[in-house]
Amino acid sequence: MASLDDLKKRITSVKSTQKITKAMKMVAAAKLKRAQDNAEKGRPYSKKMSNIILNLSGSISDKDSSPKLLSGTGKENIHLCVVITSDRGLCGGFNANIIKKAKSYFSKIINEGKELKIITVGSKGNDQLKRAFGDKIIENISFKNSKNTNYFDAEKVGKIIIEKFEKDEFDICTIFYNQFKNVITQIPQAQQIIPLNTEDNGENKTEDSYEFEPDEDEILSNLLPKNISTQIFKAMLENSASEQGARMSAMDNATRNAGEMVDKLTIEYNRSRQAAITKELIEIISGAESL
Catalytic positions, please? 91
How far does CA 228 lie from the centroid of its chain? Answer: 18
Residues 136, 138: Cα–Cα separation, whole Å: 6
How many C-beta neighbours within 10 Å does residue 146 have? 12
Is residue 4 within 8 A of residue 269, CB to CB? The reply is: yes
Residue among 288, 251, 264 at smallest CA distance from 18: 251
Percentages helix, strand, coil for the chain (3-state, rounded to 5) are: 65, 15, 25
Is residue 249 within 8 A of residue 183, CB to CB? The reply is: yes
Strand spans (E) along the chain: 78-84, 115-121, 137-141, 172-180, 186-194
For β-strands 78-84 and 115-121, DSSP reports them as parallel
- Angle between helix axes 216-290 and 4-59 (nearest 10 degrees) is 170
Residue among 169, 113, 98 at smallest CA distance from 138: 169
Is residue 46 within 8 A of residue 196, CB to CB? The reply is: no
